[in-house]
């Protein structure tokens, strides 16, 4: 923490701030300048909250210097975390994997066809929603446990590990029972009770970035998972809110590069929710891999026009093949390997 005193602060005020720092058990380091004095704080074990310092008379600002992260940080663990799915597919540390599947698990035929398409094209895992967090209470909310059973059946049939979203305590326990990876959606990124619960369920977790979450908030949500005992956390960029009505979200690919420097956790991108439009999923999926993402999570549906949700952003099987081909070339060009199931 660096305390910046106002230009009019008196010597007594500077001394009082130093005394306060000493009382807290830390060491003040005053830096008198031409216009104003600044006071460094050393000896603090972690990040301090600026609030109480700004309270003190004569203080203009308190600038945090220490990083707020611990277990998620590169300083804690320099080497990339590699998450291994039960089917052997690795994500992170140079390994790229693509998770594909329908927005919602609707019928046995639908999820089996989607799984077959994903496996044949070289996908690494199967996604499919059982509980859908919907903006309106009157929209389709997912098929629940029945969907989980179908998802597991389809994953087993095609050698794909399964990923699905938990939205609350009850669904989390069921997801952990049937699926291989638990997804936390953007709306629940700061549902800390859910994060704490999921951290203890013994499953890898895909943690989506909230729609207006800063990179720091996203990593701190990951910190909740690691602090709760979960080692296998996969961060997922899925688009942030912006001002342009033409795009549902802005897929913030630069955040992947920024986060990669700060954390050892693998980072994937969701170009389906990140764009909301089928025609943009392939270019933005390619772009995410080129930006250095460790994988993608993409919606694939055998017949999108019949989908119960997100109809216009799900890829057709042939489009998923096209995407996978580009992903393999681009990943190869930057020294990475795409991991396919089976």
- Contacting a copy of itself within 189-208 (CB under 8 A): 190-194
Identified binder of a copy of itself from the candidate list 102, 124, 274, 302, rule CB under 8 A: 274
Question: Nearer to a copy of itself by C-beta: 160 or 284?
Answer: 284
Identified binder of a copy of itself from the candidate list 13, 16, 24, 70, rule CB under 8 A: 70
- Beta strands 205-208 and 233-237 are parallel
Q: Which residues pair with 236 in a beta bridge?
A: 208, 268
Which residues inside 30-59 make contact with a copy of itself, applying CB under 8 A? 31-36, 38, 40, 42-47, 49-52, 54-56
Of 11-19, 120-128, 144-152, 234-242, the segment contacting a copy of itself by CB under 8 A is 234-242
Question: Nearer to a copy of itself by C-beta: 26 or 112?
Answer: 26
Distance CA 209, CA 122 (A): 26
Distance CA 160, CA 152 (A): 9
Asked if 93 is part of the footprint of a copy of itself (rule: CB under 8 A), the reply reads no
Q: Name the token pair of 57.
A: 């008379």
Which residues inside 14-33 make contact with a copy of itself, applying CB under 8 A? 29, 31-33
Which DSSP letter does residue 73 get? B
Residue 299 main-chain phi, psi, to 5 deg: -85, 130
Distance CA 296, CA 200 (A): 25
Distance CA 289, CA 44 (A): 39
Contact 15, 37 (CB under 8 A): no
Min dist. Cβ of residue 27 to a copy of itself (A)? 9
Identified binder of a copy of itself from the candidate list 229, 242, 337, 342, rule CB under 8 A: 242
């Amino acid at each position: 923490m660096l305390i910046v005193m106002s230009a009019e602060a008196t010597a007594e005020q500077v001394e009082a701030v130093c005394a306060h720092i000493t009382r807290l058990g830390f060491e003040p380091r005053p830096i008198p300048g031409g216009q104003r004095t600044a006071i460094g704080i050393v000896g603090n074990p972690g990040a301090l909250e600026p609030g109480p310092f700004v309270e003190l008379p004569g203080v203009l600002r308190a600038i945090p210097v220490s990083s707020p992260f611990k277990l998620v940080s590169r300083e804690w663990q320099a080497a990339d975390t590699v998450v291994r799915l039960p089917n052997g597919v690795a994500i992170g540390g140079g390994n790229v994997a693509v998770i594909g599947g329908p927005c919602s698990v609707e019928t046995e035929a639908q999820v089996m066809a989607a799984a077959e398409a994903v496996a044949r094209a070289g996908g690494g895992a199967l996604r499919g929603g059982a509980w859908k967090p919907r903006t309106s209470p009157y929209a389709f909310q997912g098929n629940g446990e029945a969907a989980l059973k179908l998802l597991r059946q389809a994953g087993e049939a095609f050698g794909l590990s399964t990923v699905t979203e938990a939205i609350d305590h009850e669904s989390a326990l069921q997801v952990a029972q049937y699926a291989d990876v638990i997804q936390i959606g953007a709306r629940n990124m700061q549902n800390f009770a859910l994060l704490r619960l999921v951290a203890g369920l013994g499953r890898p977790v895909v943690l989506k970035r909230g729609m207006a979450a800063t990179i720091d908030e996203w990593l701190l949500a990951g910190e909740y998972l690691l602090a709760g005992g979960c080692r296998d956390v996969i961060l997922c960029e899925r688009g942030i809110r912006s001002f342009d009505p033409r795009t549902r979200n802005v897929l913030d690919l630069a955040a992947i590069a920024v986060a990669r420097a700060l954390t050892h956790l693998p980072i994937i991108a969701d170009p389906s929710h990140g764009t909301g439009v089928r025609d943009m999923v392939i270019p933005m999926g390619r772009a995410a891999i080129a930006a250095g993402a460790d994988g993608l999570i993409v919606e694939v549906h055998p017949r999108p026009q019949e989908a119960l949700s997100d109809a216009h952003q799900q890829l057709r099987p042939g489009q998923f093949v096209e995407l996978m081909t580009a992903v393999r070339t681009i990943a190869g060009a930057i020294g990475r390997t795409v991991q396919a199931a089976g």
